A and B are shown apart, each in its own frame.
Chain A
Amino acid sequence: MIEETMTPTERTRAAIKLEPCDRIPVAPLMDVMFPSRHKGMTVAEGIAHPRRGFQAIVDTFDDVGGWDAMILPGYSLPVPPYISAVMQVVIGDTRYPGKDPGISEDSSPQFIEKELLTIEDYDEMIKLGWTGFAEKNLSRFFPLDPELLLAWTKRQMERYKTEGELWKARNIPSLCGGMVMSPLMFLSTRRSLVSFTQDLYRMPDKVQAVMDAMVDDLIKFAIEAAHATGIPGVELILERGGCFYYPLKIFERFEFRYIKKMVDAFAAEGFITVMHLDQDWTLNLPYFLDLPKKMCVCELDSTTDIFKAKEILKDHMCIMGDVPASLSSIGTPAEMTAYCEKLIDQVGKGRTGFILSTGCTIPFDTKFENFQAMIDSVKNHLPA
């Protein structure tokens, strides 16, 4: 066991600010699903009972001997309580375990890819702006009393704050008080990948006009949420704009210009941006050198080359990741230890600028002994 001379908050902050750490910090991207199953509940129970679900996270934290930071404090959503903000969440078709056909009690929620927004919606968004569009079309996506929706949002926000405060009392920092997608991520997932891709090629100017019409609102929602929760950071959810999907000319025009605008705005508020980068972004990494230094975390899911990320970004931003989901789910503790030690040695070189984490959210069928091996790896192994 390595002798610790820093608190989890000091250690995590040092890693993000590229300053030396006593050891590499570890911060899994945690939700209620794996902890619920670990504590004998089904995934459906954990989701349906937020207090019990959150308690399962806390108990799992204790069972494994603790980790250094929460990326998000729990499973609530930090959304400011007004219609245009909530509509980002309401427009979507997610199927839930135990509630929807085909999703068993012990499965994760699954997002259905379909065309929820139309090309006519593009025209309306350009004309009315995001807020005007959202207020006009709420009933189309949420046919119940809007007051119910706003009350739900307020409860989510209150819970988010409470969860963050609980971790703070344990001296465990939560990194993100706001959460938002880039315009491209939002539109691709709500138009569907195939239709949105056709839009990019058939009507690029219109797509850009829609993005221009919504980006300032997205920035505003995230900043307001981070202020309201008192957690000075934003989780920027990104997947569909990287080199797995599109060439750099599309990334530059439809994704990076908005990422930069968003990250710059968050940094101006003093907020760290955790860029949640699913899928492969290896060719996009050099662009991140244009983002504010020491104000971002590059959170990778194991499909981007994390070693290349370290090589390119080592003097600029902290790297986080990237234990593959398959390793957590069907690997062995020895395989987990070997992989984590490789990350610690190579990405954690210099004992800074790296936070060990799960590649995306921890799978709900993670073997506890594998998770234990992941958490223990940083406590027992220093970079070579």
Chain B
Amino acid sequence: MSELANAIADLKEDEVKQIVQDRLASGADPMSIVDECRRGMEIIGQRYKDKEYFLGELIMSGEIFKEAMAAIEPKLKAGQAGKTLAKMVLGTAKGDIHNIGKDIAATLLKAAGFEIYDLGTDVAPEAFISKLKETGAPILGISGMLTPSFESMKQTVQALEAAGLRNKVKVIIGGGIVTEMVRKYVGADAFTDDAPEGVELCRKLAGAVK
């Protein structure tokens, strides 16, 4: 494992900054630096699974990754930045203005290679549908922290059906109060109350719709 991947995995913020800066200055391929950062994030995910890391470390690593990407992105050639695992539309359900869970999920999904279209909070079903049509994204993630968001999520899935998109788009719902009972009620394909598990589920969903 590279020095950079290990520095990310060990949450060495200053060291990551320095290595990225040095690598860019030495003319290294920016995409290879991104790949190393992503490998570091994979180690973070494994440590989370092993209960060595918790949400706090995921947040820290996400912020370190974001900082690294901010330095690398201007150096990426056109088209390189578009090399993604899958497109995904994300937002918090209509009637719910909580953003923290969605934002953490968005950071980790980006780090895993997803191209995220984040519509923010209080997102109406028609706004989700419109963005899915515009981007052709095969995955929709809806976050919710309040019980009334279940109804908004359900309406969004119904709107997907009405728009003839249901067989082209996999739906995952997330939030501290979602359960298997909620997934069934909403008609979603997957649910999670755990951000790294959500990333894994999205990888599977991306595979399923390719």
Contacts and interface: CB of A to CB of B under 8 A. Distances in A.
Interface of A: 95, 102-104, 107-108, 110-113, 192-194, 197-198, 200-202, 243-247, 250, 278-279, 283, 303, 324-331, 335, 363-366
Interface string B83-105: 00000000000011111100110
A197 B182 contact: no
Given A113-B100, A194-B59, A330-B147, 5 more contacts: A104-B95, A110-B97, A113-B99, A201-B60, A330-B181
Contacts of B63: 194, 198
A329 B57 CA distance: 33
Q: Is the interface of B mostly helix, strand, loop or mixed?
A: loop
Contact of B146 (A108, A192, A366): A108
Contact of A198 (B55, B60, B150, B182): B60
A250 B57 CA distance: 11
Interface stretch (B16-24, B38-46, B108-116, B172-180): B172-180
Q: How large is the interface on B (under 10, 10 to 19, 20 to 34, 35 or more residues)?
A: 20 to 34
B157 to A, nearest CB: 14
Contact of B176 (A197, A246, A279): A279
B127 to A, nearest CB: 13
Contact of B97 (A112, A250, A365): A112
23 contacts: A102-B95, A107-B95, A107-B148, A113-B99, A113-B100, A194-B59, A194-B103, A197-B56, A197-B59, A198-B60, A200-B56, A201-B11, A202-B13, A244-B55, A324-B179, A325-B147, A326-B181, A327-B181, A328-B147, A331-B181, A335-B181, A365-B147, A366-B147
Interface in B158-210: 176-179, 181-182, 185, 193
Nearest to A242: B54
Interface of B: 11, 13, 51-57, 59-60, 63, 95-100, 103-104, 121-122, 146-148, 150, 176-179, 181-182, 185, 193
Contacts of B182: 326, 330
Given A103-B97, A330-B150, A245 B181 contact: no
Contacts of A197: 56, 59-60
Nearest to B145: A110
Contacts of A194: 59, 63, 100, 103-104
A329 B53 CA distance: 33
A353 B95 CA distance: 38
